[in-house]
Amino acid sequence: MALTIGIDIGGTKVAAGVVDEDGQIVEHLLRPTPADNPEQVAEMIAEMIRELAKGREIEAVGLGAAGFVDETRSVVRFAPNLAWREEPLQKKVSGLVGLPVVVENDANAMAWAEAKFGAGRGESHLVCVTVGTGIGGGIVLNGSLYRGRWGMGAELGHMQVVPGGRLCGCGKLGCWEQYASGNALVIEAKEIAAADPERAARLLEIAGGTPDQIEGQEVTEAARQGDPAALAAFSSIARWLGQGMADLAAVLDPGCFVLGGGVSRASDLWFDQAREAFAEDLSGRGHRPLADIRLAELGASAGLVGAADLARRR
């Protein structure tokens, strides 16, 4: 049985695993990211690979990283979390471990894992939206991962949805991830609580008294207890998720959407509303099939499983 190693390089943690042909994780490692020293990341990854490869025949290694990866799947051109610029990650790691290595955008790797082994099994045309602090995206078309001409496709969080809207980390205004992410949830909740503290009484109590103390987990907790402000914040991101998916359906006409990321763990508070908003906002509704919307199934390991499987198909 051919084994590959998948590695998901996050801003705080590096997850690595040996993965078989069925997407099952055979062995798993988790280490803190040496984020203050990006030069050490390649060395640390090589160490994890050596450890996992001991006594096994490993065919190839897939590395998933947040950022723009070039079309040759070798160089991380720009990674905001790790301060990488034109980082030749493929060459470095491959040189250290003597195995074939491919580099993938982390959200692309997650989308591939969900399409192959998770919620999107059997779908030929799928859009994966990772709703965490921001929004990550991955696109599978005609059964293959879609990377774009230069490897920079599926940056879904950076479609503009509000002209002149909230400032985004990417430097633009009004990006989708400023309205439909975990960050957006907190922004909405703070705004509502500041404008109408009575409505946000329970939320403010949980958060410690003032709007600027509100964090994502507290919005979720308050919403579950029926706090109207927290519920309104969830409704807002649900509507924006639906609208953005409708825009993507106008362009890509996928068979299904798969929603993952941290915010999807509170899906009971927004999933139905997002689905309704999508159906309502879809252009040509009534004259076309409605794409299915599903929750991701593979959780936090999707990135490494996808990277490992993409390395197998290199």
Binding site for a second copy (CB under 8 A): 68, 77-78, 85, 124-125, 137, 139, 141, 146-156, 158-163, 168, 170-172, 175, 243, 246-248, 250-255, 281, 283-285, 287-289, 291
CB 133 within 8 A of CB 181: yes
In 64-177, which ranges are continuous DSSP H helix?
Answer: 89-97, 106-117
Measuring CA to CA, which residue among 51, 49, 131, 55 is closest to residue 94? 49
Q: How far is the CB of 311 from a second copy (least distance, A)?
A: 20
CA-to-CA distance for 277 and 103, rounded, in angstroms? 35
Q: How far is the CB of 245 from a second copy (least distance, A)?
A: 11
Q: Is the CB of 221 or the CB of 253 nearer to a second copy?
A: 253
First to last CA, the chain: 17
Residue 115, burial from CB neighbour count under 10 angstroms (0-12, 13-18, 19+): buried
Q: How far is the CB of 211 from a second copy (least distance, A)?
A: 24
Q: Is the CB of 25 or the CB of 161 nearer to a second copy?
A: 161
CA-to-CA distance for 218 and 299, rounded, in angstroms? 22
Tokens 């609580």 sit on residue: 193
Q: Is the CB of 265 or the CB of 288 nearer to a second copy?
A: 288
Q: How far is the CB of 268 from a second copy (least distance, A)?
A: 26
Q: Is the CB of 182 or the CB of 254 nearer to a second copy?
A: 254
Q: Is the CB of 117 or the CB of 176 nearer to a second copy?
A: 176
Q: How far is the CB of 253 from a second copy (least distance, A)?
A: 3
Q: How far is the CB of 78 from a second copy (least distance, A)?
A: 4
Q: Is the CB of 168 or the CB of 296 nearer to a second copy?
A: 168
Measuring CA to CA, which residue among 275, 209, 207, 196 is closest to residue 238? 275
Number of Cβ within 10 Å of residue 197's Cβ equals 15
Distance of CA 101 to the CA centre of its chain: 22
148 φ/ψ angles, rounded to the nearest 5 degrees: 95, 175
